[in-house]
Structure 1
Amino acid sequence: MSHTHNKPHRNSRLTARLLHHFMSGKAAARKAFPSGTLKEIQNTIAAGEKTHRAELRVIVEASLSLGAVMRYETSRQRAHELFSHYRIWDTEENCGVLVYINLADHKVEIITDRGVGPELTREQWQDACAIMTRGFAQGRYHDSVLDALRTLNDWLAQKLPADRSKPGHNEISNRPLVL
């Protein structure tokens, strides 16, 4: 009986999510992350990677495909898919970090490889996400993502300091992607 009762509620949530993803397009991503912000993200990642061995990549996605929404794909599942697709796991020390931002779902997911994930606490990874989501809720995309990246860079520099024998070592592009 409760299964039938929940079905209309689930359908209304799906309809709302479909509409939200349909209405969130590339223009929303460009507005939230203009070229100047993307360049600063790239520079912040590059500066941080001079102090630690982790390899960060930021991917911003305006919305999921309508098919993905219909399949109830979560932002976390999409982040894992992108982690694999862009080979963020493919580093010498298994130290890739994906910061995935889904604008339509208002979600930030951080996916880490095995060589870097355990170096920070679960709370630290969650705090970095919260820095962004709190700022995004206020329309502060630029400052929030940069604050979170600087925070991650500081924590990672403490736990995985840069190997001075490999200056300029960069295995994953620092350029953020907007999908």
Structure 2
Amino acid sequence: MTQETAASFGQRLGRVLRHWRSTKADARRAFPDATLEAVAQAITAGERTHRGEVRFIVEKALPADEIWDGVTNRQRALALFADYGVWDTEDNCGVLIYVNLADHKVDIVADRGIDRKIDTGTWQTVCRTMTDGFRRGDFHQAALAAVEQVNSLLREHFPADGERPNELPDHPIML
């Protein structure tokens, strides 16, 4: 085994162990019911001011086979974007905020209608808002600040144009 192969194996094993040790209790401490409800309310309020549809998914850890296969945070976010139908909105205006607690990473996936107007660097800034807050242990305020940033971007680029149905549930999903 080469030194590079050993290092890669060690990184994979470390990631598997980090995910394996991540518990539902850890996730609930980071995102208690009050925080999840506040995020849902922020999404609902924001969606009244723009045409976007926002989903917020928190995952305590990836399944072991996905970790071992090297699935990245971005790949997982894209899979969840599809699995939860965030892409399936009338105006192609779905946005997924994905939080992976075990990896301490956040990813945002925007549907093609939004992706044309808001660049990757802007989404990375929103992700940094969350990860910086998470590092300080302030999951509640960091999540709300990020949702507000997303709502603000959507208000700017996709302002509300009258009554419309809520196409996706607003309450966060805990996996």
Both structures adopt the same fold (TM-score exceeding 0.5): yes
Tell me the residue number matched to 1:91.
89
Partner Cα distance (1:111, 1:121) in 2: 11
Deviations 1:110-156 (A, max 9, x none): 01111112222222111100000111111110000100111111121
Q: Which of 110, 117, 125 in structure 2 is aligned with 1:112?
A: 110
Deviations 1:27-86 (A, max 9, x none): 111110000000000000001101111100000000001111111111111111111111
Q: Secondary structure at the match of 1:120?
A: coil
Tell me the residue number matched to 1:17.
15
What percent identity do the matched residue pairs reach?
43
Partner Cα distance (2:116, 2:38) in 1: 27
Q: Which of 61, 67, 70 in structure 1 is aligned with 2:68?
A: 70
Tell me the residue number matched to 1:126.
124
What does residue range 148-159 of structure 1 map to in structure 2 within 5 Å? Answer: 148-159=146-157
Tell me the residue number matched to 1:174.
170
Whichever residue aligns with residue 15 of structure 2, its letter is R
Whichever residue aligns with residue 135 of structure 2, its letter is A
Q: Secondary structure at the match of 2:2?
A: helix
Runs of at least 4 residues off by over 3 Å: none
Whichever residue aligns with residue 173 of structure 1, its letter is P
Partner Cα distance (1:95, 1:139) in 2: 31
Structure 1: runs of 5 or more not aligned: none
- Tell me the C-alpha RMSD between the 2 structures: 1.1
Partner Cα distance (1:27, 1:75) in 2: 21
Deviates more, 1:149-158 or 1:30-39: 149-158
Partner Cα distance (1:12, 1:123) in 2: 31
Tell me the residue number matched to 1:35.
33
TM-score, length-normalised on structure 2?
0.97
Say how many residue pairs are matched.
175
Structure 2: runs of 5 or more not aligned: none
Q: Which of 36, 42, 46 in structure 1 is aligned with 2:44?
A: 46
